[in-house]
Amino acid sequence: MKKLYSCLFLFLFLAQSLSAQNNKIRVIVFGAHPDDCDISSGGLAALYVAAGHAVKFVSLTNGDKGHQQMDGPALAKRRLEETREVARRLGVTYEVLNNHDGELMPTLENRLEVIRRIREWKADIVIAPRPNDYHPDHRYTGILVQDAAYLVIVPNILPKVAPLANNPLFLYSYDDFQRPNPSRADISVDITAVYDKKVNALDAHASQVYEWLPWTVHDKTVPVNPQERKKWLADKYLIWSSINPEIRQSLEKWYGKDQAAQAKQAEVFEICEYGKRPTEADIRRLFPMLPPK
């Protein structure tokens, strides 16, 4: 009888584990440089990880040009180590490809690498920048992911890696560029509760947020004290994830007016029409942090 109970317990445990795995949402975020994913989706990633889902960040370049004093292999190594610290702090998987910063091109080889990673991650959601942006690496990251959107389900493309049975939901991260068309706030996620986790992840990219990016805009206000620096960083990024009237309207759609009014920080996404065409029910299923309607 004891053996029967043991077998029954093992069966139930395996069944529950399989059910949990089947219900796990798998998200992959592509960026051009080793801090881009964190900037666009760090809060969203924190929400998914806290709920037991799986998130992967992929940088398509190694970031070996993004500094005023360092460059080449030494900078690439430093930035790789920063992503490893982000992975530890945020609970995500982080991969950095060995393309040179500032030299990313929308080649067939790079497209296949993007397809490979989407398939191997078995992604339900794929996030990338839009193909219009000030930086060519950002633009070409958007193009590469956009060009992969349909091909991830085509068996004869990259036949050694099994195609996905269903096309994922492809999303563009939000930006403020207006031409040729502005970003749409199709899905807005309140990240107020995890904003400190996003800042903590960005804090790991010290070469960027405290050195390179301030240098590019001649900002000499970065504090030396680590705690003061993190407060300074949090205040800076308040602007990047602030809520304009369009985003507020989107939040009201997904959260209701009362709850949306409480949101202070948000991450926003535009649906790419080349991937899955989601219903509202699909979006609420894939974004379980959104309250049920």
Predicted local distance difference test score (pLDDT) of residue 16: 36
**Confidence grade of residue 22 (pLDDT, cut at 50, 70, 90):** low
Q: Could you tell me the pTM of the whole model?
A: 0.91
- Sheet with strand 169-173: strands edge to edge: 93-96, 54-59, 26-31, 125-128, 169-173, 266-271, 187-190
What average pLDDT does range 158-177 have in this prediction?
A: 96
Q: Residue 58's beta-bridge partner residues?
A: 30, 95
Going by C-alpha positions, the residue among 50, 37, 46 that lies closest to residue 79 is 37
Q: To which H or E segment does residue 210 belong?
A: none
Whether 3 has a pLDDT exceeding 70, the answer reads: no
Q: What radius of gyration do the chain's Cα atoms show?
A: 20
Q: Please report, for the chain, the start and end positions of each structural domain, with discontinuous segments joined by +.
A: 25-286
- Segment 28-54, tens digit of pLDDT: 999 999 999 999 999 999 999 999 999
Q: Using DSSP bridges, classify how beta strands 169-173 and 266-271 pair: parallel, antiparallel or unpaired.
A: antiparallel
Whether 236 has a pLDDT exceeding 80, the answer reads: yes
**Confidence grade of residue 266 (pLDDT, cut at 50, 70, 90):** very high
Asked if CATH classification 3.20.20.120 holds for the domain at 25-286, the reply, yes or no, is no
What average pLDDT does range 271-280 have in this prediction?
A: 96
Report the range of poorest mean pLDDT among 19-23, 58-62, 183-187.
19-23
Predicted local distance difference test score (pLDDT) of residue 14: 31
**Confidence grade of residue 240 (pLDDT, cut at 50, 70, 90):** confident
- Segment 123-153, tens digit of pLDDT: 999 999 999 999 999 999 999 999 999 999 9
What average pLDDT does range 272-283 have in this prediction?
A: 96
Per-residue tokens: 39: 């900037």
Going by C-alpha positions, the residue among 290, 60, 118, 92 that lies closest to residue 198 is 92
Predicted local distance difference test score (pLDDT) of residue 23: 87
In whole angstroms, give the CA distance from residue 263 to residue 190: 6
Q: Where on the phi/psi map is residue 291: left (φ > 0), alpha (ψ -120 to 50), or beta? A: beta
Question: Measured between alpha carbons, how far is residue 104 from residues 140, 146, 171 in Å?
Answer: 7, 15, 21
Whether 8 has a pLDDT exceeding 60, the answer reads: no
Higher per-residue pLDDT: 11 or 274 = 274
**Confidence grade of residue 293 (pLDDT, cut at 50, 70, 90):** confident
- Segment 47-85, tens digit of pLDDT: 999 999 999 999 999 999 999 999 999 999 999 999 999
